[in-house]
Structure 1
Amino acid sequence: MVAKYLVSPVARPFRYLWKYKSNFEKLENEVKKLEGRRDTVQHSVEDARRKGEEIEKHVDSWLDSVKNIIDEASEVVDDNHQQANMQCFKVFSCSYLKKRHQHSKKAAGKSKDVVRLEQEAGEFKKISYRTIPEETWLQSSKGYEAFESRESIMKNIIDALCNPDVNMVGIYGMGGVGKTTLAKEVGKQAVKLFNEIVFAEMSDSPDIKKIQGEIADKLGLEFREETESGRARRLCERLKKEEKILLILDNIWGSIDLEKIGIPSCDNHKGCKLLLTTRSRDVLTNKMDSQINFYIEVLNEDDAWKLFKRTAGICSELPDMQSVALEVAKACAGVPIAIVTVAKALKGKGVSEWNKALRELRRPSPESFEGVTSEVYLSLQLSYNNLETEELKSTFLLCGRMVCIYNVSVQDLLRYGMGLGLFTRIETMEEALDNVDALVSKLKASSLLLDSSNSKIFAMHDVVRDVARSIASRDHHMFTLTDDVTPWNWAYEDKLKNCTAISLHNITKLPKNLVCPQLKFFYMKTDDSFLRIPDNFFTGMLRLQVLHLTRLNLCSLPTSLSQLVNLQTLCLEKCELGDIVVIGDLKKLEILSLRHSNIKKLSRETRQLTRLRLLDLSECSKLSVIPPDVLSSLTKLEALYMGCSFIQWEVEGSNIERSNASLDELKHLCHLTTLEIQIPDVKKYSKGLLTPKLERYKILIGHQWYQHDWNSQYETSRMLKLNLNSEEDGVISQLKGIRELELCEVPGVRNVLYDLDGKGFPELKHLCVKDNSHFSCIVDSKQSVSCGALPILELMFLSHLINLEKICNDSL
């Protein structure tokens, strides 16, 4: 008892003196452990943020606490060193012993705090969580005009959606009247009423899986199921978890089986509301059983005039122009899409052109078809007639043929246009691509095309598309048909005789022989895996210049394909391909695309295509054989796409006879300006392969690359990614104007800028450097180029660079 109450209290303070050294050693060791745990957590945080995920609040709070505790521990250690230096000659003084006791006690306390934080990290079950980005149209104010005549309809639609006894509301009206725009505005107004708002674009031939995927993406749902029914069950289960959700299904053409998609009925989930848009009231009432439907009329005269005047830029100071403009606006019959397209077509034009336009708009419609009035038809035809060149007009009609879904590839437009010879004064593929971009921009400026999610694709309003197809059919004998909507009668011999272009979607039957002596363009897509092309199918279309087949089983190509001696563009995409020897007979071929196809070997006869300017083998994941000297024979090749495709490159010059292509073959392609390629083994790469002549490229060097690494989120036209376990050997300095650069490993390099390219990166926008123990600096200020090294850099991502000392030695 004496020891307990007298000795222990007296001895306790001396314990800090006796354990002084061990307390500080323990503190430093625990801090090192905590720093290691912090780095691990920080790496996970960086990876999560790069994937667009949100970090858990307790993780951010923990990292802040770790920073503070490490700073405090460093301060304790530093104070102790300073005190030790000051007291070195007063080792046994009372003040020295008192300070030593205080510092030891602080060290012991901080050690406990450090250990506690380290243990907390081990309790983290997850670092981050996925977020669902808000719809861009929900944030945008563009596209909607607050017309007085439509405010009451807007209010009534929202009231209907708030009614607990109503689960389905419809909006119907003629094409181009503004149904989609109104539905989106309802979505914006209803944000506070629903937990989630989802917009999904339908079509005349809806793809169930695509619709399921579109809804799931906006809910953050990932499917593991492959079948439609499995995905439907998963989607239904997810939708039921939302207390209140609004689904906007836009542009419905017929009956939609909601159960097949996975949308719960009102009996199963009263909080799930549907807003449908369509051209036909019959679709809403008889096919979808919509409970309350709203008809969208054309704009009244006042609203139509306000929209027209604002779009055309008409000033009140021009009374002569205003009088004819008022008549032109009236001729557009209050249809917003007609008003906008006509106003843009006449903007900046003289009075005589306005009078000419008015006369054309007052003529009776040469065509009429369900859902589009004569006024809309004539107004869009007027916009078409006012296009400046035949090249623009031909491009517009071609776009109408292409648009079977909402978004269309600029690359496809390029390949079709080149094959048909639409683009004048064009010598190279690079010039052609610039020309296509300019044409698309002009059509967008005329409101005949729409912007889409990125610059590589575009969209077209369904009314504009219908009018484009009607003009093409009437004036140019071009037909676009969907078999499950408008069955094609192959017996229409008179039409086929003069037909110049045919586009067939979801086709299920084919005749043995299609006699179209004037045909220049043929597109066919099917989802029927049993459909086969008859052997003599192409014998009656010998003038064909563009042929595009999608999702067909072509394990054996029809022999009549070899008779298409005028063919310039051939696309066999997403097809089952076997022997393609017959392609070697198409001597005039300039563009060949086998994108996404299931092909294992490129035929040796491909080397006979000496006029070929573009070869697309991207996404051909099973392609493992390209015979030697095939690529080197294609001496006029300007664009070669091999992303997510062939990587079995062999080395030229060895004693063993090659059975596959070598990288050195690409040196023979002196016209090559576009290249997408993966080189898994840098030892097979030789200098001179990559040259400054490359204007567009995506090049991945090294083994550790995956399919998603090809998909740049930045839309850059020059991308290089290096993942090397050996020295870089001058790859970077050979390339022109890199805009996106990713470096993994790359040993032997300490200074990213100077060691890799002493001239700097004047066009670099995105730099990613990771997983490297050698880098000590990104920019070395000792080099003269450093001040202008990265003048337009927008993003820099640095990760796992354990010896990085500085980003720049001086101001950057």
Structure 2
Amino acid sequence: MLKSGANKIIDEAVKSIEGADRAKIKNQCFKGLCPNLKVQYQLSEKAAREAKPVAGLHETGKFHKVSYHINPEKIWLTLSKGYQAFDSRISTFKDITNALSNPSVDMIGICGMGGIGKTMLVKEIARQVKGHKLFDEVVFVDVPQIPDIKKMQGQIADELGLFLCEESESGRARRLYARMKEEKKILVILDDIWARLDLETLGIPLGDEHKGCKVLLTSRSRGVLSREMDSEINFLVGILSQEESWSLFQKMVAEGDCIRNHDLQSLAVAIAKECAGLPIAIVTIAKALREENLFEWKNALLELKRPSWRNFSGVQAAACSTIELSFNFLTGEDLKSTLLLCSLMGYTYHASMLDLLKYGMGMGLFKDVNTMEEARDRACPLVHKLKACSLLLDSHISEMFAMHDVVRDVAISIASRDQHVFTMRNHVVPQEWLDKDTLKFCTAISLHKCDVNELPEELECPQLKFFYMYPKDPALKIPDKFFAGMIELRVLDLTKMHLLSLPSSLHLLVNLRTLCLDQSVLGDIAVIGELKQLEILSLSSSDIEHLPREIGRLSKLRLLDLTNCSKLKSIPPNVLSSLS
């Protein structure tokens, strides 16, 4: 219609011009020296009348853009495959959505351990807020471990249907900034950040720069979110309940009817439980076992119950690698050493801050400290940071902390592989732990509620620094020469044992700093007085009746723990006063 109107006006204009030319020749005065003013006036009026539709047509034909680039709908935003709305996360989901609706909140953080399901959660949130028109545009960016600004800018541009021709980061940032300002309401999701990220360098407007722009962050570290990124509200994504774990396991295996088999079903329940509420472990293992036979299922359960102490293998690999990555990103050897030490502590779930102090002091973990109070001041921030990274968890018991089973398994595997640590829990100790080549390089041994039938006369471990034993049989006898080959030992914990007399070789442990005989039946322990370097002596919950006078010789002792020693009757004169 516009074209036909234009053609009609053009034809009429041509006729007018031709008529004007003829009139010009025909109607000249004074032998053509002057134009006929009357005719010229008439032609001008006619031209003015004909110009009006031309001007209207020109206005109608104005185009602000010759073409418009349509940005295809993002695949991740249209598919919700794999997401499962667990009851334990519904309230967190709603709280995050409400925070995104709050006009006074610009930046929100979501933290949780690797493999807990943060990415799935934020993608589902993005789908819903986009579907409910809470935001006009949603941008999702995978943040590399070492951020590549140009690559991330390119990812944002792709999400916005924008082509960046600028070479410099600052030029690209300006273009992204201007493009995002065009969106009235935009949500930018930065997934899995490991350290501070400068949003201005990326080109993301925030706060007063663009009230309609909000940023949603995910990280394994609460500290990165709150301290490095200054996120205003942070939400923790926790592990799944046992019922949710089983539901997810069934869903992942389900596509087969294999778990309807009675033998497999009982194994499946046990395997799901061993995954300890970690979605990535549940999904990985369930998918790996879909088409496998009974023997593979049994082997998978065995692997989960007895994780490889040399490396990650089998169905564990995917789950463990995410946690190992978190471990590798811990800043400072003190954090890494603390986590590995926590994994060796004999508790199945909850562990005591006081026990960490006892072990940490003995191992020399807390540098340049002189008192237990200083050690506590050093240990608490370390535990807090590990909690912020979701590698340790809060406990419902005061002065305790917890460690996720899968995290413990990964930490033990790392310690075993890199530091020659041997550890067993709740199992028969295999004979290879007595292999001379193994023991020659071993730095730590931890045996928790293990079925140890007999100990060798002497354990030759020249590099051993940590020895923990809590046997199933409290009457297990320790031979007199047992400690003779452990000259470097710094921490010795013999829990819940019948020690009517301590092995004579104990006095050879000249480097011993921490000795714990908690919950034990104790007889003659006078040999402890020979341990001149001892700093920590713990007899907590033991049945000791008489504190030996020889303890007064321990001039370097910093802590004597007699908590819950209900049978203690006497302490010789001047023993406590001699302990400075």
TM-score of the superposition, structure 2-length normalised?
Answer: 0.50
Task: Provide the secondary structure at the position in 2 that maps to 1:469.
Answer: helix
327 and 310 in structure 1: CA distance in 2 versus 1, 3 angstrom threshold: closer
Q: How far apart, CA to CA, are the structure 1 residues paired with 2:398 and 2:414? A: 27
Whether the 8 Å CA contact 2:369–2:375 is kept in 1: the answer is: yes
- What displacement does 1:480 show? 1.5
Q: Which residue, 499, 515, 523 being the options, matches 2:442?
A: 499
For 1:368, the equivalent position in structure 2 comes to 312
For 1:441, the equivalent position in structure 2 comes to 384
Q: How far apart, CA to CA, are the structure 2 residues paired with 1:327 and 1:486? A: 46
Whether the 8 Å CA contact 2:346–2:448 is kept in 1: the answer is: no
Q: How far apart, CA to CA, are the structure 1 residues paired with 2:419 and 2:376? A: 25
For 1:472, the equivalent position in structure 2 comes to 415
Q: Which residue, 484, 495, 517 being the options, matches 1:572?
A: 517
Instruction: State the AA in 2 paired with 1:587.
Output: K
For 2:136, the equivalent position in structure 1 comes to none
For 1:389, the equivalent position in structure 2 comes to 332
For 1:550, the equivalent position in structure 2 comes to 495
For 1:618, the equivalent position in structure 2 comes to 563
Q: How far apart, CA to CA, are the structure 1 residues paired with 2:349 and 2:527? A: 34
Q: Which residue, 441, 452, 456 being the options, matches 1:511?
A: 456
* Residue correspondence of structure 1 range 596-635 to structure 2 within 5 A: 596-635=541-580
Whether the 8 Å CA contact 1:345–1:386 is kept in 2: the answer is: no
Whether the 8 Å CA contact 1:538–1:563 is kept in 2: the answer is: yes
Instruction: State the AA in 2 paired with 1:378.
Output: S
Q: How far apart, CA to CA, are the structure 2 residues paired with 1:311 and 1:594? A: 52
Instruction: State the AA in 2 paired with 1:607.
Output: G
- What displacement does 1:377 show? 2.8
Whether the 8 Å CA contact 2:119–2:191 is kept in 1: the answer is: no
Q: How far apart, CA to CA, are the structure 2 residues paired with 1:577 and 1:511? A: 22
183 and 307 in structure 1: CA distance in 2 versus 1, 3 angstrom threshold: closer
- After TM superposition, the structure 1 stretch with the greater mean CA deviation from structure 2, 485-494 or 414-423, is 485-494
Q: Which residue, 540, 545, 554 being the options, matches 1:595?
A: 540
Q: How far apart, CA to CA, are the structure 1 residues paired with 2:142 and 2:397? A: 25
Instruction: State the AA in 2 paired with 1:341.
Output: R
320 and 441 in structure 1: CA distance in 2 versus 1, 3 angstrom threshold: same
- What displacement does 1:387 show? 1.5
348 and 372 in structure 1: CA distance in 2 versus 1, 3 angstrom threshold: farther
- What displacement does 1:346 show? 9.1
Task: Provide the secondary structure at the position in 2 that maps to 1:600.
Answer: coil
For 2:220, the equivalent position in structure 1 comes to 341
Computing the radius of gyration over CA atoms, which structure comes out larger, 1 or 2?
2
- What displacement does 1:605 show? 0.8
568 and 298 in structure 1: CA distance in 2 versus 1, 3 angstrom threshold: closer
- What displacement does 1:613 show? 0.6
- After TM superposition, the structure 1 stretch with the greater mean CA deviation from structure 2, 567-576 or 340-349, is 340-349
Q: How far apart, CA to CA, are the structure 2 residues paired with 1:403 and 1:415? A: 13
For 1:809, the equivalent position in structure 2 comes to none
- What displacement does 1:185 show? 6.5
Instruction: State the AA in 2 paired with 1:408.
Output: A
347 and 536 in structure 1: CA distance in 2 versus 1, 3 angstrom threshold: same
* Residue correspondence of structure 1 range 223-372 to structure 2 within 5 A: 303=121, 320-321=151-152, 341=220, 367-372=311-316
Q: Which residue, 510, 516, 530 being the options, matches 2:475?
A: 530
Instruction: Write the deviation string for residues 383-436 of structure 1: whole angstroms up to 9, x where unpaired.
Output: 222222111111111111115311000001111111111112322211111111
Instruction: State the AA in 2 paired with 1:368.
Output: F
Instruction: Write the deviation string for residues 305-354 of structure 1: whole angstroms up to 9, x where unpaired.
Output: 5699799899xxx8854768999869xxxxxxxx853797799889xxxx
- What displacement does 1:608 show? 0.8
Instruction: State the AA in 2 paired with 1:470.
Output: S
- What displacement does 1:628 show? 0.7
Task: Provide the secondary structure at the position in 2 that maps to 1:525.
Answer: strand
Q: How far apart, CA to CA, are the structure 1 residues paired with 2:372 and 2:142? A: 36
Q: How far apart, CA to CA, are the structure 2 residues paired with 1:463 and 1:451? A: 16
Instruction: State the AA in 1 paired with 2:337.
Output: S
Whether the 8 Å CA contact 1:403–1:460 is kept in 2: the answer is: no
- What displacement does 1:491 show? 3.1
Q: How far apart, CA to CA, are the structure 2 residues paired with 1:486 and 1:323? A: 55
Whether the 8 Å CA contact 1:587–1:608 is kept in 2: the answer is: yes
Q: How far apart, CA to CA, are the structure 1 residues paired with 2:415 and 2:577? A: 41
- What displacement does 1:513 show? 1.4
* Residue correspondence of structure 1 range 657-668 to structure 2 within 5 A: none
Whether the 8 Å CA contact 1:450–1:460 is kept in 2: the answer is: yes
Instruction: State the AA in 1 paired with 2:441.
Output: N
Q: How far apart, CA to CA, are the structure 2 residues paired with 1:624 and 1:328? A: 61
Instruction: State the AA in 2 paired with 1:367.
Output: N
- What displacement does 1:494 show? 1.1
185 and 342 in structure 1: CA distance in 2 versus 1, 3 angstrom threshold: closer
Instruction: State the AA in 2 paired with 1:554.
Output: L
Instruction: Write the deviation string for residues 701-752 of structure 1: whole angstroms up to 9, x where unpaired.
Output: xxxxxxxxxxxxxxxxxxxxxxxxxxxxxxxxxxxxxxxxxxxxxxxxxxxx
- What displacement does 1:489 show? 2.8
Task: Provide the secondary structure at the position in 2 that maps to 1:592.
Answer: strand
Whether the 8 Å CA contact 1:562–1:586 is kept in 2: the answer is: yes
468 and 577 in structure 1: CA distance in 2 versus 1, 3 angstrom threshold: same
446 and 301 in structure 1: CA distance in 2 versus 1, 3 angstrom threshold: closer
1:411 aligns with 2:290: no
404 and 322 in structure 1: CA distance in 2 versus 1, 3 angstrom threshold: farther
Whether the 8 Å CA contact 2:143–2:152 is kept in 1: the answer is: no
Q: Which residue, 575, 585, 592 being the options, matches 2:530?
A: 585
Whether the 8 Å CA contact 1:345–1:383 is kept in 2: the answer is: no
* Residue correspondence of structure 1 range 152-163 to structure 2 within 5 A: none
CA RMSD of aligned residues (A): 3.9
* Residue correspondence of structure 1 range 693-732 to structure 2 within 5 A: none
